[in-house]
Chain A
Amino acid sequence: MEKLNLLWTQYATARNKKIGFILLTLVAMAVAAGAPGAGGGYM
């Protein structure tokens, strides 16, 4: 747990959080805007 806290304080900087937020937004846009038909549509 302590190590986890250490990692969090080390890497969860404001910049890294912003990067994560931007990348998640782009993933969300890809999922929401795209309409691909994938295999498995009858299961």
Chain B
Amino acid sequence: MILAWAVLAGLLAGLIRHGGRILNYVAAIPLRSAWLAPLAIALQVPLLRTPLVPAQEVEVQQILFLLSHLLLLAFVWRNRRLVGIQILGLGVICNLAVIAANGGFMPITPETAVQINPGSTIAQWPIGFHYGYSKDIILSQEATRLWVLSDIIVVPSPFPWPTAFSAGDILIAVGIFILLQVPGTLARSVAVESQTAESDKKRQRTHSLSW
């Protein structure tokens, strides 16, 4: 949920740069198949509502979670012309790679779990358990494949919401931020493209009629 702040940060930065025009720019972002995003969340809800339990007990939730990534990839593919979505897509791929390599969950080490849960001990984070109310599984660093892409970037306490991010998460936040910074330019380029395509069609039509 904390990544949603990227939207607010992007809007604020856009407001500072463009003033009230940012709203026109946002309205001009040519997003396609937007319904895929909320549907992906819906598939993830069962996993996000599961507490700390052995990973074997959340197989159904895990399958739904993996299926949701197909929708995310489809969304990225449909909107691949937007630079922000390209960066976001790279983040999705990074996260999916590490999730797929570690049995369908994002790995987090017990040490990181202690860092983001001040007052807890390593014994409270058993290896192989689903980290409650998240998409994570608790794994030791040695047992984690593609460890560098897992949740290793820690924002510890006294930050009000101590959190561990992955490199993919950062790319997703940056992608959303950038999408809200240059939407006008992108929208214009898309508009120019479609105008060019339209005039090409007209030209072809005129050409075929003249023959």
Footprint of B on A, CB under 8 Å? 15-16, 18-19, 21-43
Contact = CB atoms under 8 A, between A and B. Distances in A.
Contacts, number: 141
A6 to B, nearest CB: 21
Given A26-B7, A27-B7, A39 B117 contact: yes
Interface residues of B, number: 61
Contacts of A39: 116-118, 157, 161-163
Contact of B68 (A18, A19, A25, A32): A32
Given A29-B176, A35-B151, A39-B163, A22 B3 contact: no
B31 interface: yes
A34 B172 CA distance: 7
Contact of A37 (B4, B124, B163, B172): B163
A38 B163 contact: yes
Nearest to B115: A39
Given A22-B27, A32-B72, A37 B34 contact: no
Name, among A21, A28, A35, A42, the residue most crowded by chain B CB atoms within 10 Å (CB to CB): A35
Given A29-B75, A32-B40, 12 more contacts: A22-B34, A27-B7, A30-B176, A31-B1, A33-B3, A34-B168, A34-B169, A35-B106, A37-B112, A41-B117, A42-B51, A42-B124
Nearest to B156: A39
A40 B169 CA distance: 19
20 contacts: A22-B31, A22-B34, A29-B88, A31-B41, A32-B68, A33-B40, A33-B172, A34-B91, A35-B99, A35-B166, A36-B134, A36-B164, A37-B106, A37-B164, A38-B1, A39-B118, A39-B162, A41-B117, A41-B133, A42-B52
B86 interface: no
A30 B161 contact: no
Interface string B23-61: 110110101001001101100100000011000000000
Contacts of B117: 39-42
Contacts of A19: 23, 26-27
Nearest to A13: B27
Contact of B116 (A16, A25, A26, A37): A37
Name, among A25, A29, A37, A39, the residue most crowded by chain B CB atoms within 10 Å (CB to CB): A37
